[in-house]
Amino acid sequence: MRRFIILLFAMVAIISDAKVGDIILIPKGSGPNRDGFPMYFDIPEVFYDDNPKAPLIIIDGDGAVSYYDVEISSPVTNYVEISTQVDGTYDTIDITSLAPGTHVITITSPTGNTFEGTFTI
């Protein structure tokens, strides 16, 4: 029983060291469908993993499209800090080069839909 408790505390320490949080994406510039509601089959799920040794942005597109164009910029200067293309199924972006603070992530799918969200390091 004592080993189990020690193992449990060790697992909690490891899990609590790195937190993964949702980045809420807002569609930009797309119009509604004929029912009056927007349709976004290509909106990915985006997460921020704040592991201090290797912080990442995780993009889970579930294969809705073949790729996404991604830009990460400063909301203050509008300077694009990272610009890359990621796989439409699942991919990660190393963000160790970003300074602490708030950043804007803009994701554009090949269908022309653009989604935007923010995260803080």
Instruction: Inform me whether the pLDDT recorded for 3 exceeds 60.
Output: no
Mean pLDDT of 35-54: 83
Instruction: Inform me whether the pLDDT recorded for 39 exceeds 80.
Output: no
Instruction: Inform me whether the pLDDT recorded for 12 exceeds 80.
Output: no
The domain segmentation of the chain, as residue ranges, is 18-120
Q: Summarize pLDDT for 50-90 with one digit per residue, the tens.
A: 888 889 999 999 999 999 999 999 999 999 999 999 999 99
Q: Mean of the per-residue pLDDT values for the chain? A: 82
CB atoms within 10 A of CB 94: 12
Give the whole-angstrom CA distance, residue 14 versus residue 32.
Answer: 44
- Of all residues in the chain, what percent carry a pLDDT higher than 70? 74
Task: Give the global pTM.
Answer: 0.77
Decide yes or no: CATH 2.60.40.3080 for domain 18-120. yes
At 38 the pLDDT is: 63
Q: List Cα–Cα distances, 108 to 1, 9, 31, 55, in angstroms.
A: 51, 42, 15, 22
